Amino acid sequence: MQLALNSQDQPLAATILYYGTPLVIEKSELSKIKWPVLGIFGDKDQAIPLKQINQFKAALDEIGITNEFHIYPGIVHAFANPSGDNYAPKETKDAWEKTLSFLKRYVS
């Protein structure tokens, strides 16, 4: 997220967040982003409450930033880390497929 907000001199092709923190909801900050954003989250993530994820997406929508969010039910923080206790292989596989699809659409 911080890279996206600080890349005006060298714009990015896309930003992908796998349960990244902190999410920014200030529209003045988010308006610095001029490329698509993909968000991958779990709805039971203690570090990133669902309310904050929804506020982040709403702010992106409101200022017209192309975005795609996938929120996995019953999934907690760091679910894509295969060495962690929260690893969710089915959701991780799905998230990776969504990531590749997103990159194919927006990064040439």
pLDDT at 49 over 80: yes
β partners of residue 18: 40
Both structure tokens of 58: 């709403």
DSSP state of 35: S
- Sign of CA pseudo-dihedral 18, 20, 23, 28: negative
> What is the C-alpha to C-alpha distance for residues 30 and 45, in angstroms, rounded to an integer?
22
Amino acid letter for position 1: M
pLDDT tens, residue by residue, 11-32:
999 999 999 877 899 999 999 9
Neighbours of 6 (CB within 10 A): 10
Q: Find the range with the poorest average confidence among 23-27, 32-36, 85-89.
A: 23-27
Structural domains in the chain?
A: 2-95 (3.40.50.1820)
Q: Tell me the pTM.
A: 0.94
